[in-house]
A and B are shown apart, each in its own frame.
Chain A
């Protein structure tokens, strides 16, 4: 059964209330996490208390008071950190990225998963440890190699160096600044300093100092920030021989590492899927714990509430009953739920206009009760953008750019929008007969803007008036739907406001055309009467419904504010309308900007330079003007139109998911 206006409404939600024996809590919550369809957040912070269910239950507390005391569930956040650590160790060792999987074996418990985790770890850890050890060894030998390289050309046995009795030696590096200091004070240093090479770490030196002065020498070296390079004690012989020996050892170590790595790859092949499943299980348990924060319990039962899309109620109920036969699942319509529990909004739009949800959400998520403005915004935005930026060639480029960037996940929606407004631009390009700015090659199906300035400007205002009238309609429909008659009937965006706008339009039209269909005096009388109704909207509503009028801020303030409101209404109606002249102005501007480039190109008197100027001009127009028009179009939508009919104070539907990250991204 489709109600009227359903196609622009948001997806219907139902509140799911669930009662089940405490014993089945884990399994039911597990199912809820895996279904990934249940929204449990509430916008109203005060009542949230991190427990959605309790907030819902409180409303019905009277009816359930006889069921014993109901309290917030205190989740014993038993730490899953150790498991997570083990998992990330494994993932790191096996060089894999952990991916959560939702098709889990529901009967498997965490102990079993952890046991398997431990057994896999026991297989991987020794190989990983060995690999780490080998890699460290490799690094050590490579360091040796680097230090011995400095000495390669010196033909002395390294052992002989350390056997010296009256002299000590140091090999190490100095930075540039300290080297300068050493050189400038060399005469006071009791040591022989030999430069033996340079490295990324500074210049390398071999230093001999008398054994008797060892203490002084060491302190001076320390003050120079001298970095000692240790020589490998296990090798003997002259440096060039040692060099060769170390290289051989390094070869062996590298072979070991290769072998170990291939073992790891084999292990990865064997266990990757299983590790993912263990990971998902641990993640699931963690998420179940999180979900428990939202549950309430009495002695034997637990209670849980959440929002789900209406179309899925039966399916979800069935799934939950499969898990536990004793579960009681009750669904409540939005109207049956107290007002302060705000239902989430799930937009449903056809693929053609879905990307424009981004532009709507940029302003605010529609609340559950109001019409989803995406269709209206999407269609009008397409027209506004195209009309301001009508060009077959440039539009095609926008289309292609959108086509390309939407392949990247993070740019998908912006790409889709670009693609659509590009098409709209192409369409208007045919209307205007413009391709890459040139107006000679295509016939204008509608009009060449620059040659019909008046027509373009007038028609954009007329278009604006149409949009504003539609906005009034949506606004009135929204307000009456939530039974706000004060605003819906007498408000500035209500019926009276709409009538006043029409009176205003007729008046302006008559002045402009000096026609006299309706006498001006009558218009003024009706206009003033409508303004008065707006001013006295509260007492009038009260009269209509035979209720006393309630002034929240005091009577005097109400009328002062109302007075200013009238002035603002008058001004904003005019400015909202005039504002649409920019649609025509940008269509003209678009041609004008290109004219400027054509003139420059002609002035250059050189075909090549002229072509470069025209190409640069097109790039600038697409980039700069495209951006400006994009923003101006949004401005018209947000400021001129949304302010009429759209609140955008809803919360987005974001169901509880297994993987926290994907939930956040939504």
Chain B
């Protein structure tokens, strides 16, 4: 099957979705709201989030619930789009959805490490119910990491938990989380190998850049906040990067001052993400990815780039809305809020 036949229906759907994205006016309107409830009402009355908020009373919505509902939008859309794909492409859609399952597993891990009741997490889950790999009912009844390991045996997540102990949860939260990310990306790369040549190349590059950015962030964090040894840092890095392969990463960690080395190397590899303050780095990275997806899809060809870009734009839009909601909650001035938004209207 050629790409035109493969993407004919999907592409139309994607056009429909991107046609409904928020416009600059929407952003302006949302930024100038004074209360979370006003944001909710605006979203319900003027945007494509209306159906999502159909059962919600805007006057009586909790900030956390609203954020959670919004986050689920990407999953809902991905599930719908999966309907228009087949075989290897459907497998890829499922692989994309694993990311949210991973997020939910991280939630469970955090609850276990803090000895909190896992059962109450049900309301916070965002994973795709349609394509779930796990028995969440059982997962919600566990009380220890050993239970969890036993339950995940035989799933693709088993690998992430092969050496985990209760102690790891308490003193190195990153251990399980990095291993879970590893599982997600490894599976994603594996599934993209089965796509058409054109799509495989596009995805390998997009994923590779994503992995680069995660790895350098990891290097920076691991050194600055966790104080890990170079060997440990290196072992947790994700394989599959484009500009930072294992040897480059190794060069960086064994430098006298790895943090300085990372920062100066990024100036050459990803100059656009260099930021003055740490708190802006995340935004810069998202903006970089946003531009990257935009570029990949610039000629709007019938290929996988369109799918990934639309899904990511949607995700960034939702992140921005959540940023605005948080900003309103903490009385951040409009101009300052804009500095945290991924969408850039300049």
Contact = CB atoms under 8 A, between A and B. Distances in A.
Contacts of A216: 229
A185 B163 contact: no
A219 interface: yes
A223 B186 contact: no
Contacts of A173: 162
B175 A181 contact: no
A178 interface: yes
B117 to A, nearest CB: 22
Nearest to B172: A222
Interface stretch (A59-67, A225-233, A331-339): A225-233
Contacts of B175: 222-223
User: Chain B interface mostly helix, strand, loop or mixed?
Assistant: helix
Contacts of B232: 219-220, 222-223
B84 interface: no
B239 interface: yes
Contacts of B250: 184-185
Given A225-B162, A228-B163, A188 B235 contact: no
Interface in A189-224: 189, 201, 216, 219-224
Interface string B167-194: 0100010010001001000100000000
Contact of B162 (A185, A223, A227): A227
A177 interface: yes
B25 interface: no
B171 to A, nearest CB: 10
A189 B250 CA distance: 13
B131 interface: no
Interface string A172-185: 01010110111011
Interface in B144-159: 159
Interface residues of B, number: 23
Interface string A216-256: 10011111111110000000000000000000000000000
B258 interface: no
Nearest to B162: A227
Given A216-B229, A220-B229, A185 B159 contact: no
A178 B235 contact: yes
A223 B246 contact: no
B163 A220 contact: no
Among B163, B182, B236, residue most surrounded by chain A Cβ atoms (within 10 Å): B163
A214 to B, nearest CB: 14
Interface size grouping (class) on chain A: 20 to 34
Given A175-B159, A184-B250, A222 B168 contact: yes
Contact of B246 (A184, A189, A201, A219): A184
Nearest to A217: B231
Given A188-B254, A222-B168, A222-B175, A181 B162 contact: no
Contacts of A225: 159-160, 162-163, 179
Given A177-B186, A184-B250, A188-B254, A226 B231 contact: no
B304 interface: no
Contacts of A178: 235
Interface in B172-225: 172, 175, 179, 182, 186
B178 to A, nearest CB: 9
B169 to A, nearest CB: 12
Interface string A295-337: 0000000000000000000000000000000000000000000
A188 B230 CA distance: 9
Contacts of A185: 231, 234-235, 250
Given A177-B186, A181-B246, A225-B179, A189 B163 contact: no
Nearest to B235: A223
Contacts of A222: 163, 168, 172, 175, 232
Contacts of B239: 177, 180
Contacts of B231: 185, 188-189, 220, 223
Contact of B234 (A181, A221, A226): A181
A178 B162 CA distance: 12
A142 to B, nearest CB: 16
A257 to B, nearest CB: 21
Nearest to A175: B159
Given A188-B230, A188-B231, A226 B163 contact: yes
B219 to A, nearest CB: 13
A177 B172 CA distance: 21
B249 to A, nearest CB: 10
A175 B231 CA distance: 17
Interface of B: 159-160, 162-163, 168, 172, 175, 179, 182, 186, 228-232, 234-236, 239, 246-247, 250, 254
17 contacts: A175-B159, A180-B239, A181-B246, A182-B235, A184-B246, A185-B234, A185-B250, A188-B254, A220-B229, A220-B232, A220-B235, A221-B163, A222-B163, A223-B232, A225-B179, A227-B162, A228-B163
Report the 6 A-B pairs with minimum CB-CB distance, sorted nearest first: A223-B235, A223-B232, A227-B162, A220-B231, A227-B163, A225-B163
Given A177-B182, A188-B231, A223-B228, 14 more contacts: A178-B235, A180-B239, A184-B246, A184-B250, A216-B229, A219-B232, A220-B235, A221-B163, A222-B163, A222-B168, A225-B159, A225-B162, A225-B179, A228-B163
